Amino acid sequence: MLSVRCCLHLLILLVEAAFILIFFFLTSYDSSQKDQKTLLEAYQVLQDFTIMAALGFGFLTSYLRRHCWSTVAFNLFMLALGVQWAVLLDGFLSQPFQGKMIINLSSIRLATMSAMSALISAGSVLGRANLVQLAVMALVEVTAFGAMRLLCKQLFNMDDHQSMMHIHVFAAYFGLGMACCLSKPLPNKVEKDAQAEKFQMATSPTLFAMLGTLFLWMFWPSFNSALLNDANEKKNVVFNTYYTIAVSTVTATSVSALNHHQGKINMIDIHNAVLAGGVAVGASCHLIPSPWIAMVLGLLAGLISIGGSRCLSAGYIMLINAGALSFAVAMGLGSGLLTGLLLKLKIWKAPCVIKYFDDQAFWEFPHLAVGY
CB 23 within 8 Å of CB 44: no
Nearer to another protein, 21 or 369 (CB): 369
C-alpha distances (whole Å) from 263 to each of 36, 225, 247, 307 are 53, 36, 20, 15
Nearer to another protein, 157 or 232 (CB): 232
Smallest distance, another protein to C-beta of residue 289, A:
7
Nearer to another protein, 156 or 363 (CB): 363
Smallest distance, another protein to C-beta of residue 60, A:
14
Region of residue 121 (phi > 0: left; psi between -120 and 50: alpha; otherwise: beta): alpha
Q: How far apart are CA 206 and CA 351, in angstroms?
A: 25
Q: How far apart are CA 176 and CA 125, in angstroms?
A: 8
Phi first, then psi, for residue 28 (nearest 5°) are -150, 160
Is the CA virtual torsion 106, 219, 328, 115 positive or negative? positive
Q: How far apart are CA 341 and CA 337, in angstroms?
A: 6
Q: How far apart are CA 150 and CA 372, in angstroms?
A: 48
Smallest distance, another protein to C-beta of residue 57, A:
16
Nearer to another protein, 171 or 350 (CB): 350
Segment holding 217, helix H or strand E? helix 203-225
Smallest distance, another protein to C-beta of residue 98, A:
33
Smallest distance, another protein to C-beta of residue 291, A:
5
Smallest distance, another protein to C-beta of residue 42, A:
11
Nearer to another protein, 71 or 244 (CB): 244
Nearer to another protein, 181 or 265 (CB): 265
Q: Which amino acid is at 240?
A: N
Smallest distance, another protein to C-beta of residue 318, A:
17
Nearer to another protein, 15 or 214 (CB): 214
- Residue 102, beta-bridge partner list: 28
C-alpha distances (whole Å) from 117 to each of 26, 64, 185, 302, 358 are 25, 21, 27, 22, 24
Q: How far apart are CA 152 and CA 246, in angstroms?
A: 31
